[in-house]
Structure 1
Amino acid sequence: MQAFDQIQELWQKHEVEVKVSADEMLQQVKKEVNGLKLKSALNILGMLTSFIAIAALWVFYHFESWTTHVGISITLIAIGVYTLILYRDHRLISKSDYTVHPNEYLNNLKTYQLNRYKLYNSLYWFYTVALSLGIIFYFVEILAHFNFIQQVIAIGLTALWIIFCSTILRKAVIKREKERIALLIEKFERISGQISTRN
């Protein structure tokens, strides 16, 4: 019985390493990379759609107060800058062919990871403050057309939406994206290691 316990203990300590070739690994990450690119492109498309919708509202609707024009300007600048940052990051993960240059793509992916960290932390708060400021200026004229209850509902829903996006939603997105990018980086490091041992 003691021999059985020793064998069982050795078995539990023994780790089996699954060998996956670099080609198989590249096939596995192909889907993940394409998903990352698609998500990035959809983020940019959503921001552009928001920019166009707000700009169209500004052009086609007559606003009387200067505060509304300031609010819309601040909002459009914030969305425009954030969109350019998203586009820069999208180009970073789309410019090199990961099947031909996995090391270069790995470096780009690490830079992308760092940029996303900055985007969701310090830059996100500048974006949120700018949008909030834009909405406050915009509301000066718009809320004058509402009765008191409608004003409270509009301000309350806007504040709740900003708080929800800045806390629960932001944390969930950061966690999911952090795990996804870390997994891709790990896979590309293993691919690079296997390719360098071949040479």
Structure 2
Amino acid sequence: MDPNIDFKNIWKQQTSTKPNLEELLDTLKKFKNENLRKLICSNLSMTATSLLIIFIWYYYQPQMITTKLGIVLVILAMAIFLIAYNRMFMTFYTIDNTQSNHNYLQNLYRVKSKQKLMQTTMMNLYFIMLSLGICLYMYEYTSRMTPISGIIVYGITLLWIAFNWFYLRPRTIRKQQGKLDGLINKFEEINNQLQD
């Protein structure tokens, strides 16, 4: 090994790949469009589900108050979730291409903060209300079954809810956070370069 190698000089001569602002803005646009599609799909599917539940209530005329309370809880859970979901992304969609990098970054921080609220408080409230509503709704119909059949139906339903809660929800949260954190990190890098 040559003792006369100047490591500092070699280090300074390295070229690092700096994020391209145009590519980053394009990534941000794709992220916004992807989330807009998800928002529209969520609105359509939850509205259609609510209308179907109301139709079932009207058509089949459940007798027990628990069934009616369950229906109200399920619809209310979906309505609260959709209102919070739409509000969260309104901040994100107000970001336009004329803003400075600093403003982009501040808006992304706001979106991240609202996303965290959505993924914790609002998602917990949604799952609790939805689970309770489904269990109350099912009581009238499972009470007509044999005890074993009722336990099996409730068991399968609760297993499905647990699968969504413990597997799908955390996975979705990690994926959403990863994408947003990636965007924030790239904008922070560009912001730091502009300040240097």
Q: What TM-score comes out, normalization by structure 1 length?
A: 0.81
The answer to whether the 8 A contact 2:74-2:133 is kept is: yes
* Local SS of the residue matching 2:126: helix
Give the superposition deviation at 1:143.
0.9
1:40-66 deviation line (CA, Å, top 9, x unaligned): 332333332322222222222211111
Partners of 1:89 and 1:40 lie apart in 2 by 10
Equivalent residue number for residue 40 of structure 1:
39
Residue 65, structure 1, aligned to residue 64, structure 2: yes
Closer/same/farther in 2, CA of residues 9 and 50 from structure 1, 3 Å limit: farther
Equivalent residue number for residue 84 of structure 2:
85
Partners of 2:8 and 2:153 lie apart in 1 by 64
* Local SS of the residue matching 1:86: helix
Residue 16, structure 1, aligned to residue 10, structure 2: no
* Local SS of the residue matching 2:2: helix
The answer to whether the 8 A contact 1:67-1:137 is kept is: yes
Equivalent residue number for residue 146 of structure 2:
147
Equivalent residue number for residue 2 of structure 2:
3
Residue 163, structure 1, aligned to residue 162, structure 2: yes
The answer to whether the 8 A contact 1:69-1:138 is kept is: yes
Residue range with higher mean Cα deviation, 42-51 or 77-86: 42-51
Give the superposition deviation at 1:84.
0.4
Give the superposition deviation at 1:21.
3.6
1:100-125 deviation line (CA, Å, top 9, x unaligned): 22544433322221122122223322
1:120-175 deviation line (CA, Å, top 9, x unaligned): 22332222221222122212212123333432221011101111111111111111
* Local SS of the residue matching 2:15: coil
The answer to whether the 8 A contact 2:84-2:122 is kept is: no
Q: How does 1:132-143 map to 2 (within 5 A)?
A: 132-143=131-142
Identity of aligned residues (%): 26
Closer/same/farther in 2, CA of residues 34 and 193 from structure 1, 3 Å limit: farther
Q: What TM-score comes out, normalization by structure 2 length?
A: 0.82
Partners of 1:39 and 1:95 lie apart in 2 by 17
Residue range with higher mean Cα deviation, 140-149 or 56-65: 140-149
The answer to whether the 8 A contact 1:93-1:112 is kept is: yes
Closer/same/farther in 2, CA of residues 96 and 13 from structure 1, 3 Å limit: closer
Equivalent residue number for residue 100 of structure 1:
98
Partners of 2:163 and 2:4 lie apart in 1 by 54
Q: How does 1:44-59 map to 2 (within 5 A)?
A: 44-59=43-58
User: What amino acid is the match of 1:93?
Assistant: F
Unaligned runs of 5+ in 1: none
Equivalent residue number for residue 179 of structure 1:
178
